[in-house]
Amino acid sequence: MGMWRMPSVSEAIRRRISVRAFKPDPVPESLLREILEVARFAPSGGNVQPWKVIAVAGAAREAVSALAKQAIMANPAGEEGDRPIYPANLWEPHRSWRFKVGEDMYALLGIPREDKPARLRHVARNFDFFDAPVGLFFVIDERMGHGQWAHLGMFMQSIALVALERGVSSCMQEAWGRVRATLKRHFGLGETELVYCGMALGYADEAAPVNKLRSDRAEVDEFARFEGF
Ligand SMILES: Cc1cc2nc3c(=O)[nH]c(=O)nc-3n(C[C@H](O)[C@H](O)[C@H](O)COP(=O)(O)O)c2cc1C
> Mutation test of ligand 1: which of 171, 210, 215 has the most ligand atoms closer than 8 Å to its C-beta?
171
CA distance 119 to 97: 18
Please tell me the distance between residue 20's alpha carbon and the centre of ligand 1 in angstroms.
10
Q: What is the mean pLDDT of residues 87-94?
A: 94
Q: What pLDDT sits at residue 5?
A: 73
The CB of 172 under 6 Å from ligand 1? The reply is: yes
For residue 175, tell me if it sits in a domain. yes
CA distance 184 to 56: 15
CA atoms within 13 A on the CB side of 142: 13
The domain tally of the chain equals: 1
For residue 72, tell me if it sits in a domain. yes
* Residues 23 and 203: beta-carbon distance below 8 Å: yes
Question: Confidence class of residue 111 from pLDDT cuts 50, 70 and 90?
Answer: very high
For residue 88, tell me if it sits in a domain. no
Q: What is the mean pLDDT of residues 172-180?
A: 96
Rg (CA), the chain: 18
Please tell me the distance between residue 143's alpha carbon and the centre of ligand 1 in angstroms.
25
What's the CATH number where 55 sits? 3.40.109.10
Range of the domain at 72: 18-81+128-209
Helices (H), 75-131: 94-109, 116-124
CA distance 45 to 158: 16
Question: Confidence class of residue 3 from pLDDT cuts 50, 70 and 90?
Answer: low
Q: What is the mean pLDDT of residues 124-149?
A: 97
Q: What is the mean pLDDT of residues 98-120?
A: 94
The CB of 20 under 6 Å from ligand 1? The reply is: yes
Q: What is the mean pLDDT of the chain?
A: 95
Q: Percentage of residues in the chain with pLDDT exceeding 70? A: 98
Alpha-carbon distances of 115 from 29, 142, 212, rounded to whole Å: 39, 37, 21
Q: Treating both helix axes as pointing N-terminal to C-terminal, what angle do 180-187 and 58-74 enclose, rounded to 10 degrees?
A: 140
For residue 99, tell me if it sits in a domain. no
Residue among 41, 30, 72, 49 nearest 173 (CA): 72
Please tell me the distance between residue 227's alpha carbon and the centre of ligand 1 in angstroms.
32
Least confident of 72-76, 132-136, 213-217: 72-76
The CB of 17 under 6 Å from ligand 1? The reply is: yes
The CB of 211 under 6 Å from ligand 1? The reply is: no
For residue 117, tell me if it sits in a domain. no
CA distance 194 to 138: 8
